[in-house]
Amino acid sequence: MMSMSRSASRDKNSPAPFRIEPLKNGAEDGSMHFEWAHQPRSALLIEKKGDKQARHYIVLAARYLFHNRHFSIFVENYVKEDLKNYAFLSSFENYEESMVDFVLSFGGDGTLLHIAKLFPRNCPPIVPFAMGSLGFLTPFLADDYKSIIDDLIRGFFYVISRTRILCSIQKTNSDGNIEVTEIQAMNDVAFKPSKNGTVSAVDCSIDDEYFTTVYGDGLIVATSTGSTAYNLSANGVIIHPSVSTLVWTPICAHALNAHPLVLPDSIELSLKIAKNARGNDPYTLAYDSSETLVSKNDKVTIRISPYPVPTVCQKEPMTDYLNSISSVLKWNQPIHGSISIEDEVSDPSTINHFFVCVDGDFENQIAG
């Protein structure tokens, strides 16, 4: 087989080949039109690990990009090892992130989160093909890969610039020095006791000003993208992914009025295990399928990351979003199924009766 030399791909010191501009209405809401500053020449292909169908499409897309578009193709190291017969494939781990012009994702929402971790700073645009179980973030069909690649190269698409959480964990070591570890999350971070059955007590501050202690099973801090993940299971509010915000949601709070909060993206949220928390066991800080332990004297600081993740839309951003919440989440769809107008007329039992209050008296009955 033919092989492509590294010189054919973009130099790691060259500027990004793409330009993202706000939509024509001028709204700075994260909904952007995408244009190439110059012709793309390299792509990273990521699969859902262990999925044979995803591997099948990785090979098809790689062959198409190399033979028909003369691209440099990058894959993860274990894929390169599995596909040794494809000499034109290069291992992504050997190159700088700036070498990749765009990413093709063949998997589910978890695959997209994995890609975000590969690019802790500037992330190239990601095209998510649906091959997972849920697919809220993956609008494209894998069978359409050729036409989608062609449109992508021509620059015929929109992107959503998805915010990420930047989380700093401050620990005091045995010498009394403070050590800081930074992590990023595209969906959310969840702060809760590591020991099952323990009631959490989490002190929360905004810009170093204390505002509450959350008692219950823990606390979720989500991005707008993550608002439809763990946050939704905890009865949190759903936010459009183009909105840059932090969603603060208690998990099974020991208070009837502990409602979720939508916080501005300019704030810094601090979390600590409360001094009156039961026991001395550490808490778990879970973030995008990973986790770490936080001790009682540690401090967790959360803010919006300066490095968003651009994902390619199938249609315009709002259309993609409405399609996703309707088809995947079944948003506002009745459980019992729809009843037609004809059914309501033919069956008197389905007619709803409403009473109209006029000057304080319920006088008029209306069938509808």
Q: What confidence tens digit (pLDDT) does each residue in 319-331 have?
A: 778 888 888 788 8
Q: How far apart are alpha carbons 18 and 75 in whole angstroms?
A: 21
Other Cβ atoms within 10 Å of 223 Cβ, number:
29
Q: Is the pLDDT of residue 340 over 90?
A: no
Q: What confidence tens digit (pLDDT) does each residue in 276-294 have?
A: 999 899 999 999 989 999 9
Q: Is the pLDDT of residue 299 over 70?
A: yes
Domains plus CATH for the chain?
A: 6-162 (3.40.50.10330), 165-307 (2.60.200.30)
Q: Is the pLDDT of residue 28 over 50?
A: no
* pLDDT-derived band at 164, boundaries 50, 70, 90: very high
* pLDDT-derived band at 269, boundaries 50, 70, 90: very high
Q: Are 288 and 113 in contact (CB under 8 A)?
A: yes
* Residue 295 CB contacts under 8 Å (≥ 6 apart), including other chains: 171, 273, 282
- Give the mean model confidence (pLDDT) for residues 269-276: 96
Mean pLDDT, rounded, of the chain:
84
50: left (phi over 0), alpha (psi -120 to 50) or beta: left
Q: Is the pLDDT of residue 61 over 60?
A: yes
Q: Is the pLDDT of residue 213 over 80?
A: yes
Catalytic residues: 109
Q: Are 106 and 45 in contact (CB under 8 A)?
A: yes
What is the token pair recorded at 211?
């505002």
pLDDT of residue 27: 42
* pLDDT-derived band at 247, boundaries 50, 70, 90: very high
Whether the pTM exceeds 0.75: the reply is: yes
Count of helix runs (H) and strand runs (E) in the chain: 7, 23
pLDDT of residue 31: 53
pLDDT of residue 14: 52
Q: Is the pLDDT of residue 95 over 70?
A: no
- Give the mean model confidence (pLDDT) for residues 253-264: 94
